[in-house]
């Protein structure tokens, strides 16, 4: 491993000893390098300071413990529970959105398997009718997960129509969970963002949407905030998925994203395999940052 | 940006109290540098690069000569912009083609960074340039990546080599190798190898990428990087540099609103050029990389830079008007002449400067005939004169001319020539000046003229061996160009002794 945050934290806290001024600077550097962003970094350090100041004899173990508590407390303010409730006889619909290449389709494959193994009937809808071979990609995942799929009837079909057909099919065939894939889109493209709003509207004509999941790539920096704001505003995001946490990036920007939008992280992707998806547990996330 | 005000706004308010122009104090500089550091971090420039960058800014801000045209905040911003462009610019970045086709171009990068789409764009672009590219499908990992590339190849109207179905089946190294062989047999002149996305920390996959490279000896290995990436840019770039030693960088998804600080990080860290900017989902959305655009994107300094340009233009014009007035009133002296020459000198080598200009081809002959040493000689002669002689050339009698010739290592004929040239140039300038309504315009044509602040060289004119991409760099060159003719008239080649 070339560099990792956990390594940096380790060297920062190697062996308990009295805290020195340099430790505070290293702490700042470490948070910044984990993409916490300058504002949250300042706040976290201030919070750690506030607690540390009342302790007369502070060693580096204390500092580490306090930091962990401060971070966890910030995350605990949000409820990471997925809500997959639905009206009787109707499926719970999950719409998956995000910018290009963050891992939407992969996440759907993993998520479908995750739910299917818990005994629910899942149907995925291939409403990414834009990207070349996106439908085939989702079909491969559906097969791997052992779930059903609705594909567009022709190339480049209106994604809202595909989404609608998926939901209708679920109602008819008695699927309990519907997951709809959408094309990646940059949050700055208003035409494409309107398209999402339309997909939502059309689906909700027949069934309420249970979750709109915004997929965020852990390698993203402060632009993640812009993404979250725009997708919240225009697609009514209700939960975040943080992918690619198996790499060297730590996704510290989600602290700011959660606090700015009030939307909790609900799922975490850590690999390209079908089982590499977990729920979001603040304690585990912080431990991964610190250990 | 949503959450934070622009740097322009912040700097303007932070420094609005500093109205006085003059030497920058350490406190002024530190305050400004702190804001810049924060803005760079908000733009996702990696911390190490931010540190060395702000260190450099601080040093320069404290040591540079005072620029009379600007207030302290503006001056720091100008330094920042220059340094940004410098890091982002560097050597001219162009694809290098093999002497003996096929040219092999390998793509590498993280998952989802945009490799496959870029492969299609590059193929289409090369085709439009008269090349015959073939796409080789070596992403055998991501489900249906091969299908995706096949569709893209069709859209781009180029050939694809895809012997393996992918989805975990097939050996990418063998496919890459066979792809090059295929291109040789079928006489395709460029091979573009699309590879699977991989993490920098994934040692097995990095080894595989290295094997692909070793099996195909690519002329270019392009590292494809998402402009939205954060601090991980350096970690990943380093891993890919160690892993496959890429030769150039492609920045993707620049059509969004990411500040793209990664560009600065990667340049600062790897010193590899950024070759292309990918700016959309359509296969035509491909652009060369413009360092100046990227600089203003990262720090959003647009407003302040416009102000600076305005301030300097006014200042330049004041200056130019003063010179023009002198000509009109016959008070233009050899001292003024010397200063003008020195301004030209500060702009770098005349030949390099003029050769760089668009349209300079037509002036090739004049440029070739222009002898830089003439400026040296002229300078040496004027420097050997007393202040009084510089002010009043009429004082230059025979014995004075002899003294000056000795002092400057020239002959009396040289000195005579210079005085004649100076007088005729001044006279000519006066005639030209009369014919043009705005006096300063005419003076633009005088050889030595350059926009200037007396004690401070106009830093934005510094030549760094890069083509003048930046708007603020080309503008003064344009003003200099028409002077070329007069340059060779008024400062002819040194007459034979
Ligand atoms: N390492 C890693 N790669 C991922 C993860 N999630 C997705 N990917 C990869 O990221 C790339 C883009 O994923 P995809 O699902 O096609 O993204 P989409 O465009 O948002 O649908 C693919 O190569 C995936 O294999 C993850 O959690 N870890
Ligand atoms: Mg997709």
Candidate from A214, A272, A280 with most ligand 1 atoms within 8 A of CB, to mutate: A272
B129 and B174 in a common domain: yes
Cβ of residue B47 lying under 6 Å from some atom of ligand 1: no
Answer whether A251 contacts ligand 1 (Cβ < 6 A). Answer: no
Look up tokens 């620049």; give the residue: B254
Q: Are residues B156 and B283 in the same domain?
A: yes
| Domain shared by B328 and B390, yes or no | yes
What pLDDT was estimated at residue B493? 35
Contact A249 B155 (CB under 8 A): no
CB-ligand 1 contact for B447 (6 Å cutoff): no
The ranges assigned to domains in chain A are 5-76, 92-290
Per-residue pLDDT of A264-280, as tens digits, reads 999 999 999 999 999 99
pLDDT score at B20: 52
pLDDT for the residue B369: 54
Ligand 1, atom nearest to A247 Cα: 1
Q: CA-based Rg of chain A, rounded to a whole angstrom?
A: 21
Q: Identify whether residues B229 and B359 lie together within a single domain.
A: no
Say if ligand 1 is within 6 A of residue B144 CB.
no
Whose CA is closest to atom 13 on ligand 1? A103
Residue of A nearest to B36 (CA): A38
Cis peptide before B102 (omega within 30 of 0): yes
Contact A38 B41 (CB under 8 A): yes
Pairwise CB contact (< 8 Å): A132 & B151: yes
Residue B452, in any domain of the structure: no
A137 Cα nearest atom in ligand 1: 16
A229 CB neighbours in chain B (<8 A) are: 2
Sequence-distant (≥ 6) Cβ neighbours of residue B16 within 8 angstroms = none
Residue of B nearest to A102 (CA): B112
The verdict on residue B398 lying in a domain is yes
pLDDT in tens, chain B (497 residues): 333 355 566 666 555 555 454 566 788 788 878 888 988 999 999 999 999 999 998 898 888 776 666 766 677 778 888 888 888 875 557 898 999 999 999 999 999 999 999 999 999 999 999 999 999 999 999 999 999 999 999 999 999 999 999 998 899 999 999 999 999 999 999 999 999 999 999 999 999 999 999 999 999 999 999 999 999 999 999 999 999 999 999 999 999 999 899 999 999 899 899 999 999 999 999 998 888 888 888 887 766 666 666 666 666 666 666 766 776 777 778 887 777 666 655 544 455 444 444 334 444 455 555 566 777 788 889 988 988 888 888 888 989 999 999 988 889 988 988 888 777 767 766 665 554 433 333 333 334 333 333 333 333 332 333 333 333 322 222 222 222 222 222 333 333 33
B234 and B346, same domain (yes or no): no
Do B469 and B409 fall within a single domain?
no
Distance A196 CA to ligand 1 centre (A): 21
Considering the domain architecture, whether residues B263 and B347 belong to the same structural domain is answered as no
Q: Are residues B338 and B241 in the same domain?
A: no
Specify if B401 maps to a domain: yes
Q: Among B191, B162, B156, B186, which residue's Cα sits nearest to residue B174?
A: B162
Q: Do B42 and A225 touch (CB under 8 A)?
A: no
Residue B431 pLDDT: 62
For residue B24, the SS3 value is: coil
Q: What are phi and psi of B347, to 5 degrees?
A: -80, 0
CB pairs under 8 A between A and B: 157
- In this structure, are B134 and B222 located in the same domain? yes
Q: Which ligand is nearest to the CA of A99?
A: 1
Q: Is pTM beyond 0.80 here? A: no
Domain A5-76 falls under CATH 1.10.1470.10: no
B139 Cα: distance to centroid of ligand 1 (angstroms): 13
Q: 3-state secondary structure string, chain A?
A: CCCCHHHHHHHHHCCCCECCHHHHHHHHHHHHHCCCHHHHHHHHHHHHHHHHHHCCCCEHHHHHHHHHHHHHHHHHCCCCCCCCCCCCCCCEEEEEECCCCCCHHHHHHHHHHHHHCCCCCEEEEEECCCCCCHHHHHHHHHHHHCCEEECCCCCCCCHHHHHHHHHHHHHHHCCCEEEEEECCCCCCCHHHHHHHHHHHHHHHCCCCEEEEEEEEECCECCHHHHHHHHHHHHHCCCEEEEECCCCCCCCCHHHHHHHHHCCCEEEEECCCCCCCEEECCHHHHHHHHHC
Pick from A1, A35, A141: which is nearest to B230 by CB? A35
Which is higher by pLDDT, A290 or B17? A290
Please state the atom number of ligand 1 nearest to the C-alpha of residue A128. 21
The predicted structure's pLDDT at residue B11: 62
How many whole angstroms from A242 Cα to the centroid of ligand 1? 11
Smallest CA–CA distance, residue A194 to chain B, in Å, is 16
Cβ atoms of B139 and B194 within 8 Å: the answer is yes
| Ligand 1 atom closest to the CA of B196, numbered from 1 | 23
Regarding whether B225 and B262 lie in a shared domain, the answer is: yes
Q: Which CATH class is domain A92-290?
A: alpha beta
Q: What is the pLDDT of residue A8?
A: 54
- Helix (H) or strand (E) holding B21, with range, is none
Burial of B435 (0-12, 13-18, 19+ CB in 10 A): exposed
Choose the weakest-confidence range: A3-12, A210-219, B204-213. A3-12
Residue B300 belongs to a domain: no
- Tell me if B230 and A220 make a contact (CB, 8 A cut-off): yes
- State whether the beta carbon of A246 lies less than 6 angstroms from ligand 1: yes
Residue B381: inside a domain: yes
CB contact under 8 A, A2 and B142: no
Neighbours of A250 (CB within 10 A): 27
Closest-CA distance of chain B to residue A87, Å: 34
The answer to whether residues B123 and B226 belong to one domain is yes
Residue B469: give the domain boundaries: 459-488
3-state secondary structure of B298: helix
Q: What percent of chain A has pLDDT over 70?
A: 93
The pLDDT tens digits of the residues spanning A217-239 come to 999 999 999 999 999 999 999 99
Tell me if B255 and A39 make a contact (CB, 8 A cut-off): no
DSSP state of B195: E
| Closest residue on chain B to A109 (Cα) | B143
| Pocket flag, ligand 1, residue B112 (CB < 6 Å) | yes
The total domain count for chain B is 3
B236 chain-A contacts, CB cut-off 8 A: 219, 247-248
pLDDT at A117 over 90: yes
Both B342 and B467 in one domain: the answer is no
Q: Quick one: angle between helices A37-54 and A253-261, nearest 10?
A: 90
* Cβ within 8 Å, pair B111-A101: yes
- In 10 A of CB B400, how many CB atoms? 16
The verdict on ipTM greater than 0.85 is: yes
């Amino acid at each position: 491993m070339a560099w990792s945050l956990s390594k940096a934290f380790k060297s920062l806290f190697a062996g308990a000893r009295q805290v020195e001024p340099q430790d505070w600077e290293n702490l700042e550097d470490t948070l910044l390098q984990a993409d916490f962003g300058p504002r949250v970094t300042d706040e976290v350090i201030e919070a750690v300071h506030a607690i540390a100041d009342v302790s007369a004899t502070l060693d580096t173990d204390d500092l580490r413990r306090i930091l962990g508590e401060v971070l966890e407390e910030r995350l605990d303010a949000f409820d990471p529970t997925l809500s997959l409730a639905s009206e009787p006889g109707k499926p719970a619909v999950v719409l998956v959105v995000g910018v290009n290449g963050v891992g939407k389709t992969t996440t759907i494959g993993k998520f479908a398997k995750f739910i299917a193994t818990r005994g629910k009937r899942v149907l995925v809808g291939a409403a990414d009718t834009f990207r070349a071979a996106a439908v085939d990609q989702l079909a491969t995942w559906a097969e791997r997960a052992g779930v059903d799929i609705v594909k567009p009837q022709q190339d480049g079909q209106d994604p809202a129509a595909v989404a609608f057909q998926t939901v209708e099919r679920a109602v008819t065939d008695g699927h309990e969970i519907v997951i709809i894939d959408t094309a990646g889109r940059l949050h700055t493209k208003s035409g494409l963002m309107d398209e999402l709003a339309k997909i939502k509207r059309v689906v909700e004509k027949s069934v309420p949407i249970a979750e709109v999941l915004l997929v965020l790539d852990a390698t993203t920096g402060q632009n993640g905030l812009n993404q979250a704001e725009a997708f919240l505003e225009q697609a009514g995001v209700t939960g975040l998925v943080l992918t690619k946490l198996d790499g060297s990036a730590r996704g510290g920007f989600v602290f700011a994203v959660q606090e700015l939008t009030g939307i909790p992280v609900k799922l975490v992707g850590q690999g390209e395999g079908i089982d590499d998806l977990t729920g979001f547990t603040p304690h585990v996330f912080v431990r991964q940052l610190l250990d | 940006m949503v959450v934070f005000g622009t740097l322009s706004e912040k700097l303007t308010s932070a420094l609005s109290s500093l109205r006085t122009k003059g030497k920058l104090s350490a406190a002024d500089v530190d305050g400004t540098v702190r804001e810049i550091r924060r803005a760079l971090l908000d733009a996702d420039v990696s911390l190490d690069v931010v540190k060395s960058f702000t260190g450099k800014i601080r040093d320069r801000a404290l040591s540079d000569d005072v620029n009379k045209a600007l207030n302290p905040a503006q001056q720091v911003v100008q330094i920042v912009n220059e340094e940004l462009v410098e890091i982002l610019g560097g050597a001219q970045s162009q694809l290098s083609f093999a002497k003996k086709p096929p040219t092999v171009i390998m793509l590498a990068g993280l998952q989802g960074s945009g490799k496959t789409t870029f492969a299609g764009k590059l193929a289409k672009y090369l085709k439009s340039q008269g090349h015959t590219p073939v796409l080789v499908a070596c992403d055998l990992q991501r489900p249906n990546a091969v299908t995706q590339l096949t569709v893209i190849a069709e859209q781009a109207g180029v050939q694809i080599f895809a012997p393996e179905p992918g989805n975990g089946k097939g050996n990418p190294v063998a496919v890459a190798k066979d792809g090059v062989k295929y291109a040789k047999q079928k006489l395709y002149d460029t091979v573009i190898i699309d590879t699977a996305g991989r993490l920098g920390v994934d040692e097995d996959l990095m080894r595989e990428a290295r094997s692909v490279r070793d099996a195909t000896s690519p002329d270019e290995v392009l590292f494809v990087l998402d402009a939205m990436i954060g601090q991980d840019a350096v970690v990943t770039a380093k891993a890919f540099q160690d892993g496959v030693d890429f030769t150039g960088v492609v920045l993707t998804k620049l059509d969004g609103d990411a500040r793209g600080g990664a560009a600065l990080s990667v340049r600062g860290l790897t010193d590899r050029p950024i070759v292309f900017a990918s700016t959309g989902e359509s296969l035509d959305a491909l652009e060369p990389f413009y360092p100046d655009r990227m600089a203003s994107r990262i720090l959003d300094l647009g407003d302040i830079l416009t102000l600076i340009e305005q301030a300097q233009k006014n200042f330049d014009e004041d200056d130019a008007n003063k010179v023009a007035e002198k000509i009109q009133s016959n008070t233009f002296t050899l001292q003024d002449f010397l200063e003008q020459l020195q301004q030209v000198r500060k702009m770098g080598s005349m030949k390099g400067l003029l050769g760089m200009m668009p349209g300079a081809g037509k002036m090739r002959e004049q440029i070739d005939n222009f002898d830089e040493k003439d400026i040296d000689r002229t300078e040496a002669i004027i420097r050997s004169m007393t202040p009084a002689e510089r002010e009043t050339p009429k004082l230059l009698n025979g014995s004075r001319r002899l003294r000056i010739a000795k002092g400057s290592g020239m002959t009396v004929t040289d000195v005579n020539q210079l005085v004649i040239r100076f007088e005729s140039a001044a006279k000519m300038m006066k005639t030209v000046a009369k014919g043009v309504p705005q006096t300063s315009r005419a003076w633009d044509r005088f050889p030595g003229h350059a926009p200037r602040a007396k004690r401070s060289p106009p830093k934005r004119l510094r030549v760094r061996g890069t083509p003048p991409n930046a708007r603020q760099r080309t503008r003064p060159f344009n003003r200099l160009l028409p002077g070329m003719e007069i340059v060779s008239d008024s400062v002819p080649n040194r007459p034979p002794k």
